[in-house]
Chains A and B, each alone.
Chain A
Amino acid sequence: AQKVTQAQTEISVVEKEDVTLDCVYETRDTTYYLFWYKQPPSGELVFLIRRNSFDEQNEISGRYSWNFQKSTSSFNFTITASQVVDSAVYFCALIPYNQGGKLIFGQGTELSVKP
């Protein structure tokens, strides 16, 4: 099966706390691509990161960081020193190489950052 699981439906934190959003994926393909998207309350989908299966290096972009571990099929997303503007729904997604470029989404995690 090709699947993405985001077990955390909702997370609530207080501003300046660190928060990690979990993502576990399943695919038969050895080549695949992983993504994170942000959906703020305004509703648009904003691309955050793309990672291919051959690159396990962790990535940091400002307060955002991503931990890709093939051994556990996980691609977790951490926000350091969260801010109210980080409140959004976050989607993890997968494109297996042999699926014609079709993006498979997790169910999403709704993050609420309170002042």
Chain B
Amino acid sequence: DAGITQSPRHKVTETGTPVTLRCHQTENHRYMYWYRQDPGHGLRLIHYSYGVKDTDKGEVSDGYSVSRSKTEDFLLTLESATSSQTSVYFCAISEAGFSGYTFGSGTRLTVV
């Protein structure tokens, strides 16, 4: 059991359509994060959550929203996808923030 799963693993969508990525954990960790990975930028934080219904913005939050209605699920929504949002998206969980993260396997999103 991986403890953290992302779905879908791959998605191709058209510009202007809404897209939701799901992160699901079975570890009951308090903290959950969404990052995007782009060449030359490493991983950059989009949004994070420190509890149910408690979320905050990261470094590159424009064009993204999140929701966390229960501990195990953290959803990332692109309200109207753009080509600049083509990326690999990683979800991560952490028990106490400083203890380090466990990452999901990533979602490769292509916006055409």
- The interface residues of chain A lying within 8 Å CB-to-CB of B48 are 100-102
Contact B102 A105 (CB under 8 A): no
Tell me how many residues of A have a C-beta within 8 Å of chain B: 24
Contact A108 B96 (CB under 8 A): no
Contact A33 B42 (CB under 8 A): no
B67 within 8 Å of A (CB atoms) = no
Closest to A110 in B: B39
Question: Are A97 and B58 also in contact (CB < 8 A) when A43-B105, A44-B106, A45-B90 are?
Answer: no
Question: Are A102 and B58 also in contact (CB < 8 A) when A44-B103, A45-B103, A47-B100 are?
Answer: yes
Instruction: Tell me the smallest distance from the CB of B97 to a CB of chain A, in Å.
Output: 2
Contact A101 B40 (CB under 8 A): no
A64 within 8 Å of B (CB atoms) = no
Instruction: Give the bracket for the number of chain B residues in contact with chain A.
Output: 20 to 34
Contact A95 B40 (CB under 8 A): no
Closest to A45 in B: B103
Instruction: Tell me the smallest distance from the CB of A11 to a CB of chain B, in Å.
Output: 16
Closest to A106 in B: B42
Contact A101 B103 (CB under 8 A): no
User: With A and B bound together, what is the CA distance between A4 and B35 in angstroms?
Assistant: 16
* In the complex, per-residue mask of B78-112: 1 if CB is within 8 Å of any chain A CB, else 0: 00000000001010101011111111011000000
9 contacts between A and B (CB under 8 A): A33-B100, A47-B101, A50-B99, A52-B98, A91-B43, A95-B97, A101-B98, A102-B45, A107-B41
Q: A101-B31, A101-B96, A102-B58 are in contact. List 7 more A-B contacts (CB 8 A).
A: A35-B100, A47-B101, A101-B48, A102-B45, A103-B33, A103-B92, A105-B44
